[in-house]
DNA sequence: CTAAATCCATAACGCTCGGTATGTAAGTAA
DNA sequence: TTACTTACATACCGAGCGTTATGGATTTAG
């Protein structure tokens, strides 16, 4: 049990940047999903060999989890900002506009890593599926809590269903991601978001 | 080129019912998606051997298409009925209630065969993905046309965006299917649908 | 300079995949 | 019965999967 974690670089130093490699892996998972991304796809995009991948990241599942962390940290930051908006409508606006901006970005893949990976049903990927679904459920819970608070704030009518509003908003965002990855144009996605915001209550 | 299609059963008759076998295959595809369903999964559920499957249905892709036809014919019939409703709100109500009923059925798998299969990204399954997306796009176009007519009927305000309404409704249904296959309870799905209908314009 | 440690490259492992060749059983038509 | 047609059962194919064993290259520690 060697617990020496000293950063003294003994032995040959690695020849690639793990952060860049992880970003490349994220792009592959994002485009193809967890099971759709083969190790050859990953190593090709990362520019490293299979043993290097296993030495640096553990295995495919661990690599995916790290890519998912990076994705949430860098690409889903707007969700946290949305929850901090002062009104329920502001939350919905920030969420939908953030999602629209993300889905119409020209440099990132279409679709949502969480959405595409949560739909994978392979027998072996059940753990991944559960993990992604758990993270989505946590975000949904945060949305519900935010709308509950909005009821107290008088921000939405006290008869409103906070859980229903949260799940509806979440469903629209999931559908937005699906239609984006199905090839909808930016104008079509924008019309979807605009209409959703026109329909959103308590303007 | 033997064009004799006479139903004279020459040779050994097959020992299984193709309709039952196709229904069993549909259940497997529905639960696991196109790529997630292996030939072993399919033959086990259908109770037939691999060569029998290929003789009766062609190959895995052809089998999926036939299962998809069966699915649309038997499980998505409510979409056509929805489009025939007299008002735009009636269309939305019928669509969402039909989807809710489907997703909360106790005898069928959760989720939507189209949704789960459209998210498969494997290199080989691109044709399947395109096929499913094309069918979804056709349904979306029908929805758009229906809401355009609703504008003429004075059913929705003339300033409304028919395309936006159609894509929004479609997105809510996609999100509903996703949350259903992610394990949401019937009550949660019902709250989603109820809230969506409360938000729907021109009540 | 030697020894230990760490990384890279190649190739292989066992497994599952979709699809098929082969031989036999079961039915009809003469 | 005899010939022919069709379906079933078994076993196999080549390819791709995630993972790892092996050996050489490159660095630091003593």
Please report, rounded to whole angstroms, the spatial distance between the CA atom of protein residue B50 and the C1' atom of nucleotide D12: 13
CB of B48 less than 8 A from some CB of A: no
One-letter-per-residue 3-state SS of B46-111: HCCCHHHHHHHHCCHHHHHHHHHHHHHHHHCHHHHHHHCCCCHHHHHHHHHHHHHHHHCCCCCCCC
Please report, rounded to whole angstroms, the spatial distance between the CA atom of protein residue B3 and the C1' atom of nucleotide D18: 48
| The predicted structure's pLDDT at residue A2 | 34
| The predicted structure's pLDDT at residue B194 | 98
Domain(s) labelled CATH 1.10.10.60 in chain A stretch across: 3-67
Q: Count of CB contacts below 8 A, A vs B?
A: 141
Query: Using the beta-carbon criterion (under 8 Å), do A119 and B115 form an inter-chain contact?
Result: yes
CB of A104 less than 8 A from some CB of B: no
Q: How far is it, in rounded angstroms, from Cα B37 to Cα B52?
A: 17
Res B63 pLDDT > 60: yes
Q: Which nucleotide is nearest to B16 if distance is taken from CA to C1'?
A: D7
Res A200 pLDDT > 70: yes
CB of B100 less than 8 A from some CB of A: no
Query: Using the beta-carbon criterion (under 8 Å), do A171 and B178 form an inter-chain contact?
Result: yes
CB of A30 less than 8 A from some CB of B: no
Do B118 and A182 form a contact (C-beta atoms < 8 A)? yes
Could you report the per-residue pLDDT of A150-168, keeping only the tens digit for each?
999 999 999 999 999 999 9
CATH topology of domain A76-198: Tetracycline Repressor; domain 2 (1.10.357)
Minimum distance, in Å, between the CA of residue A203 and any CA atom of chain B: 11
- Which class for A162: exposed (0-12), middle (13-18), buried (19 or more C-beta within 10 A)? buried
A60, A19, A58, A56: which is closest to A40 by C-alpha? A60
Q: Which two tokens stand for residue A194?
A: 């605009």
Q: What is the dihedral of CA B11, B12, B13, B14, to 10 degrees?
A: -130
Do B37 and B29 form a contact (C-beta atoms < 8 A)? yes
Q: How far is it, in rounded angstroms, from Cα A94 to Cα A78?
A: 8
CB of A161 less than 8 A from some CB of B: yes
A13, A106, A83, A117: which is closest to B121 by C-alpha? A117
Q: How far is it, in rounded angstroms, from Cα A174 to Cα B181?
A: 13
CA A129 distance to own-chain centroid: 13
**pTM of the predicted structure, to 2 decimals:** 0.93
A18, A99, A93, A11: which is closest to A62 by C-alpha? A18
All residues at 6 or more sequence positions from B191 whose CB lies less than 8 Å from its CB, including other chains: A161, A163, A164, A167
| The predicted structure's pLDDT at residue A159 | 93
Q: How far is it, in rounded angstroms, from Cα A83 to Cα A98?
A: 12
Supply the DSSP symbol for B202.
-
| CB < 7 A to strand C: residues 6-35, chain B | 8-13, 35
Q: How far is it, in rounded angstroms, from Cα A7 to Cα B73?
A: 63
Which bases of strand C have any atom within 7 Å of the beta carbon of a protein residue?
4-12, 16-22, 25-29
Taken as a whole, chain A contains a residue count of 203
| Chain A residue with Cα closest to B131 | A182
Confidence of residue A11 (pLDDT cuts 50, 70, 90): confident
Q: Which nucleotide is nearest to A4 if distance is taken from CA to C1'?
A: C5
Question: Would the Cβ of A10 be found within 7 angstroms of any atom in strand D?
Answer: yes
Q: Which two tokens stand for residue B145?
A: 């046309």
Distances B196 to A120, A171, B130, B179, B189 between C-alpha atoms, Å = 27, 10, 29, 15, 11
Do B193 and B100 form a contact (C-beta atoms < 8 A)? yes
| The predicted structure's pLDDT at residue A6 | 43
Could you report the per-residue pLDDT of B103-145, keeping only the tens digit for each?
999 999 999 999 999 887 677 888 999 999 999 999 999 999 9
Query: Using the beta-carbon criterion (under 8 Å), do A198 and B194 form an inter-chain contact?
Result: no
Q: Which two tokens stand for residue A201?
A: 């209550």
Average pLDDT in chain A? 93
Question: Could you give the angle at the alpha carbon of A71 between the alpha carbons of A50 and A188, nearest 5°?
Answer: 120
Res A171 pLDDT > 60: yes
Minimum distance, in Å, between the CA of residue A173 and any CA atom of chain B: 8
Query: Using the beta-carbon criterion (under 8 Å), do B119 and A119 form an inter-chain contact?
Result: yes
Please report, rounded to whole angstroms, the spatial distance between the CA atom of protein residue B184 and the C1' atom of nucleotide D22: 49
**CATH assignment of A3-67, given 1.20.1260.60, 1.10.10.60, 3.50.30.10, 3.40.720.10?**
1.10.10.60
Question: Would the Cβ of B12 be found within 7 angstroms of any atom in strand D?
Answer: yes
Domain(s) labelled CATH 1.10.357.10 in chain B stretch across: 76-198
B188, B75, B67, B85: which is closest to B142 by C-alpha? B85
Please report, rounded to whole angstroms, the spatial distance between the CA atom of protein residue B145 and the C1' atom of nucleotide D29: 76
Average pLDDT in chain B? 93
CB of A191 less than 8 A from some CB of B: yes
Mean pLDDT of A73-82: 97
């Amino acid at each position: 049990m060697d617990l020496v974690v000293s950063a003294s670089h003994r032995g040959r130093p690695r020849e690639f940047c793990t952060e860049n490699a992880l970003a490349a892996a994220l792009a592959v998972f994002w485009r193809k999903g967890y099971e759709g991304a083969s190790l050859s796809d990953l190593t090709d995009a990362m520019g490293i060999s299979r043993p290097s991948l296993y030495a640096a990241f553990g295995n495919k599942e661990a690599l995916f989890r790290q890519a998912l962390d990076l994705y949430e940290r860098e690409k889903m930051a707007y969700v946290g900002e949305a929850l901090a908006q002062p009104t329920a409508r502001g939350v919905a606006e920030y969420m939908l506009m953030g999602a629209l901006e993300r889905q119409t970005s020209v440099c990132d893949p279409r679709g949502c890593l969480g959405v595409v990976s949560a739909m994978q049903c392979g027998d072996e990927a059940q753990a991944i599926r559960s993990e992604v679904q758990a993270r989505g459920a946590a975000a949904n819970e945060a949305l519900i809590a935010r709308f509950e608070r909005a009821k107290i704030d008088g921000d939405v009518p006290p008869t409103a269903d906070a859980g229903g509003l949260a799940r509806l908003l979440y469903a629209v965002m999931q559908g937005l991601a699906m239609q984006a990855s199905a090839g909808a144009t930016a104008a079509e996605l924008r019309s979807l978001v605009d209409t959703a915001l026109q329909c959103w209550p308590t303007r």
